[in-house]
Amino acid sequence: MSVVPVYKRILLKLSGEALMGDDTHGINRAVIERIVREIGEVVGLGIQVAVVIGGGNIFRGVAPAAEGMDRATADYMGMLATVMNAMALQDAMKRSGLDCRVQSALNLEQVAEPFIRGKALRYLEDGKVVIFAAGTGNPFFTTDTAAALRGVEMDAEVVIKATKVDGVYTADPKLDPAAVRYQKVSFDEAISKNFKVMDATALTLCRDQRLPIIVFSIFKHDALKRVVMGEDEGTLVHCY
């Protein structure tokens, strides 16, 4: 186990659902404050942190609520939901003393900066947290793909995906008590066995760019810190 962080720059993928906690929709204030505290601890270790956030707690383009809608329109609505989550996350970070910026893939200059790679890199180098909103800015692509894309663009060393489950298992641990957590899996295995780590586009991009992914539970106390310290937390998806 390392006594110093094993990563200098990470891309954290947060789903919109992670912000709900036990609520049925929206943003749970206690949950978002706890997530911000955990991010703050990692920043305090000297790690540069970029965040891609989803919008499923507000609106998702492929959800039943979008049934019958034009898919591109529904996806743009989902992108706007991620901007709302990014603004809420930024507000919570500022109140906790974290310096952060929101960059949007859609042009919404009154509430967020446009995505500019060079500026985002400078922010990270200055110790600011950068929150990327609006996915890739294009319909038909998920925020998983946005996380993979931004991770590559930001020269991140790893994409860390926060989920409700503490890794990838041999079976659904809620249904099968004998399910075992994988410590490591290959990209090809994750794709061929449909482990649902991320969508196929995101997995393929990370595999081709040799950008590892770690899946962990955002609901386990200090799990993010254990991940960046190289402890046995979550599941590492990588190239063998």
Q: Give the single-character DSSP code of 115.
A: P
Query: For residue 85, is pLDDT > 80?
Result: yes
Q: Structure tokens of 145?
A: 């793909």
Q: Six-digit token pair at 15?
A: 């789903």
Nearest to 56 by CA among 122, 142, 140: 142
* Rounded average pLDDT over 139-163: 97
- Average pLDDT in the 134-142 region? 96
In this structure, of 32-36, 79-83, 172-176, 236-240, the range with the lowest mean pLDDT score is 172-176
**pLDDT tens digits for range 32-46:** 999 999 999 999 999
Domains in the chain: boundaries: 9-235
Residue range 105-122: mean pLDDT, rounded: 97
User: Does position 1 have pLDDT exceeding 60, yes or no?
Assistant: no
In the chain, which ranges are continuous DSSP H helix?
A: 29-44, 71-95, 117-125, 143-153, 187-192, 200-208, 223-228
Q: Which residues fall in the annotated binding site for UMP?
A: 55, 75, 136-143
Average pLDDT over residues 130-147: 97
**Residue 236's pLDDT band (cuts 50, 70, 90):** very high
Mean pLDDT of the chain: 93
Return the pLDDT at 21.
82
User: Which residue ranges make up the annotated binding site for ATP?
Assistant: 13-16, 56, 60, 163, 169, 172
Backbone angles phi, psi at 78, to 5 degrees: -65, -35
Q: Which residue, 193, 135, 173, 190, is CA-closest to 14?
A: 135
What is the structure's pLDDT at 119? 98
pLDDT band at 2 (very low <50, low <70, confident <90, very high): low
CB 71 within 8 Å of CB 61? yes
| Res 240 pLDDT > 90 | no
Q: Phi, psi (5° rounding) for residue 70? A: -60, 130
Q: Which amino acid is at 94?
A: K
Query: In terms of pTM, does the model score above 0.85?
Result: yes
Please enumerate, by residue number, every residue annotated as part of a binding site.
13-16, 55-56, 60, 75, 136-143, 163, 169, 172
Answer yes or no: is pLDDT of 11 > 90.
yes
pLDDT above 70 (res 80): yes
CA distance 61 to 70: 9
Q: Can you tell me the mean pLDDT for 65-74?
A: 87
Largest pairwise CA distance in the chain: 53
Edge-first strand listing for the sheet containing 9-14: 113-114, 100-104, 129-133, 48-53, 9-14, 158-163, 213-217, 235-238, 184-186
pLDDT over threshold 90, residue 24: no
Q: Provide mean pLDDT across the span 138-157.
A: 97
Token readout for 184 is 């490591």
Q: Specify the fold of 9-235.
A: Carbamate kinase (3.40.1160)
